[in-house]
C-alpha cells in the first residue's frame, strides 16, 4: 500500500508541475470583450491649403509668381519682390492678407492704382474682400455683426478661401436673402 501512495503522490506532483508549466509558458489571451472594442477613428481635418501663390508685378525688382505660407500679407511678398526706388507702396494695404491666385500690382509714384473690373462691378473699393478681411472690416458690411463676422472667419479657417460669392451661403446664418442684401458690399476675388 505504501508503494501505491508513493505512486499517487508522484503522479499528482507531476500533474501539478505539468499544469503549472502550461499556465506560465503561454501568453495570456485577450478576453473576447477586449478583442471587439471599437477604437475611435482618427479625426480627418478638411484639406486647407498651407501655401498660396500670388503674382507680383509693377514697380518691383523681381516681378514673378511667389509661393507664400497661408496667412502671409501683402508686405511679406513685397519684401521678397523688392520695391524699386519709384514704387509707391502707400497706395497699397501692406497689412492685407494674401489670397491664393491674386495679383499684387505695385504702382509707381504719381500713378494711381487701377481697380480690377471685378471690384468695379461689386461696388468699387467700398466692398470688403471676404477672404482677406479682418473681423472689424467684415462688420462694416451692412447686416454683419460680431457673430456673423466670427462665423465667416471660422469658416475660412476650416475650409479655406471662398471661390465664389454663392459659397458664403455655406456659412451658418447666411441665407439667400442675407446674401442678396450684401451683394456688392461683400466681395469674393
pLDDT digits 0-9 by tens, 54-103: 889 999 999 999 999 988 888 999 999 999 999 998 888 888 888 777 88
Phi then psi for 66, rounded to 5 degrees? Answer: -125, 135
Which architecture, in CATH terms, is 51-114? Roll (3.10)
CA pair distance 137, 110, nearest whole angstrom: 28
Residues 6+ apart with CB under 8 A from 77: 54, 56, 66, 68, 98, 104
Secondary-structure breakdown of the chain: helix, strand, coil percentages, each rounded to the nearest 5: 40, 15, 45
Q: Which residue has the higher pLDDT, 118 or 173?
A: 173
pLDDT tens-digit map of 2-47: 777 777 777 777 777 877 766 666 555 555 555 555 556 665 554 5
pLDDT, residue 39, reads 59
Residues of the chain with CATH 1.10.150.320: 118-187
CB 32 within 8 A of CB 49: no
Q: Which of 3.10.20.30, 3.10.105.10, 2.40.340.10, 1.10.150.320 would CATH assign to domain 118-187?
A: 1.10.150.320
Residues of the chain with CATH 3.10.20: 51-114
Scanning the structure block, which residue is given the C-alpha cell 492678407? 97
User: The pTM is what?
Assistant: 0.42
Please state which of the ranges 61-65, 110-114, 183-187 shows the lowest mean pLDDT: 110-114
Give the cell for residue 155.
Answer: 469658416
Q: Which residues pair with 54 in a beta bridge?
A: 66
Amino acid at each position: 500500500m505504501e508503494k501505491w501512495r508513493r505512486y499517487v503522490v508522484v503522479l499528482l506532483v507531476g500533474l501539478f508541475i505539468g499544469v503549472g508549466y502550461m499556465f506560465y509558458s503561454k501568453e495570456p489571451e485577450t478576453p473576447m470583450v477586449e478583442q471587439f472594442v471599437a477604437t475611435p477613428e482618427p479625426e480627418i481635418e478638411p484639406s486647407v491649403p498651407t501655401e498660396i501663390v500670388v503674382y507680383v508685378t509693377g514697380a518691383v525688382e523681381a516681378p514673378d509668381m511667389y509661393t507664400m505660407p497661408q496667412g502671409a500679407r501683402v508686405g511679406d511678398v513685397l519684401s521678397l519682390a523688392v520695391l524699386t526706388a519709384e514704387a509707391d507702396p502707400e497706395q497699397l494695404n501692406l497689412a492685407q492678407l494674401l489670397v491664393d491666385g491674386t495679383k499684387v500690382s505695385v504702382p509707381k509714384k504719381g500713378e494711381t492704382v487701377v481697380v480690377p473690373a471685378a471690384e468695379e462691378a461689386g461696388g468699387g473699393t467700398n466692398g470688403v474682400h471676404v477672404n482677406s478681411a479682418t473681423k472689424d472690416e467684415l462688420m462694416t458690411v451692412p447686416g454683419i455683426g460680431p457673430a456673423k463676422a466670427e462665423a465667416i472667419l471660422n469658416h475660412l479657417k476650416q475650409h479655406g478661401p471662398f471661390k465664389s460669392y454663392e459659397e458664403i451661403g455655406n456659412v451658418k446664418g447666411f441665407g439667400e436673402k442675407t446674401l442678396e442684401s450684401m451683394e456688392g458690399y461683400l466681395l469674393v476675388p
